[in-house]
Structure 1
């Protein structure tokens, strides 16, 4: 009889493996038990049944003129409770080896709360300077500089949020760090003609590429990165009773710049991104159709561009205060478009503020966060830019309590 191995069973197997090869081999468990209660004043674009808040939805009126999205909602979840395992050794020649396996309970299946891989990778390192990572971990645009907050969105849609299968090489010198990465999509997917799907990149045959450089000096880090994404929205199309093979492709280039400075009781961090079709990282965006072949229906595309910037200021340690401000602007497309695919392409701009206070003890954290988010909705012109706008605001209150080990 076949049996499913759960998260606890998987970890037990890994522990037994560890006992079997203790020489030059170490492992360490870590994790958290996390509960969170949230309340919203209206419906939102969201992930994970509201735990991952992104943007407030526009007005949607019924026959009597009532706004269907002006509906409060609230819930309490333990889904982001997680368990991880860090492993080191044994060395392979001069290469130091390590690996990470981390999972939570936000997977999908017949039960809502099932184990899901967050991180799963191994890493080889030489001389403290070069490293080679293979597996699933954070997207480079999330990077080493990201906001500190209670909300699981961690700054999205102003900061890229994604964990992706990847192959990464990194060189770290005294003050400079260079990173090159090839990435694929799995849990965080791009938007397209059939909604979110892995097929757009899989059919493309080309991984996403990222290159970045950072300046490091003590607790100060500053850097830039560039990302190239090439997708195939469709491979075939049916017109009447005839089916045609298509050779469609949408290629986009995105850029980001970031900085962070840490002091004993203060942290200042900021990032600015010029994003083109970065919907697979929980950012606003997508692409438009510029032409359609009348015989086969084959389409040509152009990406939407969005400018997203955020600032994060954190003070304290035991009692921690946190302020986060994010702003995103829809810059439209470079060509006239006939149709569009993407996320929140009817939003012209959006501003979100997070104000947080938390009490932190060894192994414990309890905190509350207030988040007003305002989006400007309107009418799109031929290049996807939004005019004649009106505002919609959601007020979100989040309470979090964690036991960390």
Structure 2
């Protein structure tokens, strides 16, 4: 039923665009319209191990914890798949001014689905309107989380885009960005598809943020341009894990830079924060010994070097994330995304060939994870007696843009 609705939606959009285009060609309002674009992407995936993933392995996070049966780790078995669910459709809208400000909008969806149960289903990615003048840009709607810096994210062929080392999320928001060599970015936002994990919501829910009565707040200072880009920011997330309980505020700090190195580009980013499961970082929330809640603290660093030739492109991504334990002693249940994993790292070189609108790329992704348990002090992570686990992924992607 959902697939039929998705097909119907796309058909209606196409018909609406055709009909409006015919009307608009005859009418006086030629300053309004929509143009369609996107890409078709096919992924061929081989993993040497079972992994924690989304969408039947397409979105890889990290290797699965060892599962010993009869003295054998049954998760140390390979996996193979072919998928095209990242295929994307984007509508870019332009229109008349709004009280002297230029207007534009974006509607974007993909066939990634909302969960494994409806994979191939059409889902919303971005939906926002933008107001612009020579001093400021204003975005209203669903767009990248401000911790995902759209001007310098990893260029991996893998759809994980550096997760869990790189924060990843899209959120309904109000964003104001000033213009110039030094730019201020201010954002208030909620949670939707990517949400905090907590009581009765092991996979995440926006209820914890909504019940705080407040949005998330983010401020960021960004400077530079094409040759060099730098920035730093702070994020505040108020959550109320239980009605009648206290609201706690989780803080995240981010710093980043991008610069030219000869003909190549180098990117570096560091993130330190509390309870970041909503941006797919290893992290957690737990009941403490005083009847309240405590959060863990995670440090993540990633870097990338990439370049492009006449008909080929290359890059190498590496990342490291470390769980620094909980702020207070844990006295009850723990929630989150691998909240007792001690650390993980990844290195993934890639090379691709392009001509016209077509790219065929290959990426080799090695990810290692060290799981652990809560230590005797009920705050730190203890890895004694637990071996690290690793996965080697070979990915071949064919991408056709339009």
Report the 3-state secondary structure (helix = DSSP H, G, I; strand = E; otherwise coil) of the residue aligned with 1:226: strand
| 1:60 paired residue number | 67
Q: 2:369 aligns with which of 365, 371, 375?
A: 375
Q: Report the TM-score when normalising by structure 1.
A: 0.90
**Alignment pair present for 1:116 and 2:123:** yes
Report the 3-state secondary structure (helix = DSSP H, G, I; strand = E; otherwise coil) of the residue aligned with 1:280: helix
Range with greater deviation from structure 2 (6-15 or 389-398): 6-15
**Cα deviation 1:123-163 (Å, max 9, x = unaligned):** 00122x20111011111111122111100010110000111
- RMSD (Å), alpha carbons: 1.8
Alignment map for 1:327-346 (pairs within 5 Å): 327-339=320-332, 340-346=334-340
| 1:230 paired residue number | 238
Shift of 1:323: 0.3
Q: In 1, Cα distance between the equivalents of 2:281 and 2:316?
A: 20
**Alignment pair present for 1:326 and 2:333:** no
**Cα deviation 1:257-308 (Å, max 9, x = unaligned):** 011124673111010000211111111101222135xxxxxx3112111000
Report the 3-state secondary structure (helix = DSSP H, G, I; strand = E; otherwise coil) of the residue aligned with 2:98: coil
Structure 1 residues not aligned, in runs of 5+ = 236-245, 293-298
Q: Report the TM-score when normalising by structure 2.
A: 0.91
Range with greater deviation from structure 2 (10-19 or 315-324): 10-19
Structure 2 residues not aligned, in runs of 5+ = none
Q: In 2, Cα distance between the equivalents of 1:17 and 1:285?
A: 48
Q: 1:302 aligns with which of 294, 301, 304?
A: 294
Q: 1:111 to 1:48 in 2, by over 3 A?
A: closer
**Alignment pair present for 1:315 and 2:318:** no
Q: In 2, Cα distance between the equivalents of 1:209 and 1:69?
A: 40
Q: In 1, Cα distance between the equivalents of 2:164 and 2:187?
A: 22
| Number of residue-to-residue matches in the alignment | 384
Alignment map for 1:65-76 (pairs within 5 Å): 65-76=71-82
Shift of 1:19: 4.7
| 1:152 paired residue number | 159
**Alignment pair present for 1:384 and 2:383:** no
Q: In 1, Cα distance between the equivalents of 2:22 and 2:99?
A: 22
Report the 3-state secondary structure (helix = DSSP H, G, I; strand = E; otherwise coil) of the residue aligned with 1:204: coil
| 2:398 paired residue number | 401
Shift of 1:250: 2.9
Range with greater deviation from structure 2 (345-354 or 221-230): 345-354
Q: 1:19 to 1:172 in 2, by over 3 A?
A: farther
CA contact (8 A) 1:37 1:398 kept: yes
